[in-house]
Amino acid sequence: MLGRLVREKPLVYLDSAATALKPRAVIDEVVRFYESVTANVARGVHSASQEATARFEDVRRAAAQFLGAGDDEVIFTSGTTASLNLVAQSYARSVLRPGDEVLVTELEHHSNLVPWQLVAEQTGARIRAIPVTDRGELDLEWLERSRSDRTRIVAVSHVSNVLGTIVPVAEVGALAREIGATLVVDGAQGVPHLPVDVTQLGCDFYAFSGHKLFGPTGIGVLFGRRQLLERMPPWQGGGGMIAQVTVQRSTYAPPPARFEAGTPPIAEVFGLGAAIDMVSGWDRPAARAHEDALVEYAGQRLSAIEGVRLYGSAADRTGLVTFTVDGIHPHDVGTALDAGGVAVRAGHHCAQPLMARLGVPATVRASFAPYNTAVEVDALAEGVLEAKRIFG
């Protein structure tokens, strides 16, 4: 990807928060499944099936270790969205009652908001949002003051996909536990930048997507605390999640199989395993320092351009810069940048409540990964200047 040309310019890929580029090891592992190990898992007695099953479960163990979880606390899904819908429809729908509360935040991606809206309509619960300060940080004083004995679930992002704010999940979790609430974390933007230990975070559920962690699309991981998973009913029915089936009724397998109905995304799990192996071998603090240096440099370059407005100044943030240019719609800025080979995200970033809080319909987002460089930040700044020239 980084060797291709876009409109006769070298590609500058600054959209890793949407989906990260894939290293050769991930691609090779996906191809290896299709070329050498194609078989269903947990079904066959033949050698290919046994080999595929062994690799599938090896990746589950690697994902559990990556999160500091138990092997039987890791469920494979199609992504963060599917994971959060699973929690909403299996766990939340079975525990929420009319008048109960689900607390979300103004930072949330729609994937950590709409599933709660759906389950609130089904159960009679209500949703409230923890406010965001002008710096883009959660108002924890509001949370401490406004939580109640009707607060059953607190759902937060680990890292904002718009502002890069790192949410103090452990503090939120402590406040949730004091009132007996369950903590659900959308980690889609967290795992690419931060080491995660679900025990230290104190969360009950943690979800992330493989494709943002340099892995394939169509694969996600859901951590669920064992005691909760064991009490949860299935979300989807089919092969692989049952213990015994008759025409009239069925009994169900224990977790995680209970929540993995049908043929799973096997090739994608293979690729996810390669991505986890790669990231686990990194010097994570060094990777984070490199990305944070790019974020700081981008902020300096962009803030020096007249008419550019930056959003988010939290004390603890990572991974991206978000901005607008006075008088130019973000989509036009993105189009002008693309003419110079610079790929960014422009729009509401599936976070319309946060856009309303910021008072804008959309922004431009440049997001970073370890493969980005300061030269690419310069290309971003030069592209913004060109957008100003084009649109006057």
- Give yes or no: 350 in active site: yes
The residue from 18, 350, 355, 360 that is catalytic is: 350
Secondary structure E strands in the chain: 5-6, 9-10, 12-13, 74-77, 101-105, 126-130, 151-157, 182-186, 205-209, 220-224, 242-245, 250-252, 308-311, 320-325, 342-343, 345-347, 363-367
Q: Are 349 and 161 in contact (CB under 8 A)?
A: yes
Q: Report the run of H or E that residue 121 belongs to, with start and end.
A: helix 114-123
Closest CA to 392 of 304, 311, 332: 332
Per-residue DSSP letter, 71: G
Strands 320-325 and 363-367, how do they pair? antiparallel
Per-residue DSSP letter, 378: H
The DSSP string of 127-144 is: EEEE-B-TTS-B-HHHHH
Helix, strand and coil percent figures for the chain, each rounded to 5:
45, 20, 40
CA distances from 107 to 125, 256, 276, 358 (A): 21, 30, 27, 10
Which two three-digit tokens encode residue 236?
Answer: 């989807």
Q: How far is CA 286 from the centre of its chain?
A: 21
Q: Are 196 and 187 in contact (CB under 8 A)?
A: yes
CA-based diameter of the chain, in Å?
Answer: 70
Rg (CA), the chain: 22
User: Cis peptide leading into 234, omega within 30 of 0?
Assistant: no
The CB density around residue 238, as the number of other CB atoms within 10 Å, is 11
The DSSP string of 251-296 is: EEPPTTGGG--SS--HHHHHHHHHHHHHHHTS-HHHHHHHHHHHHH
As annotated, the active-site residues are: 350
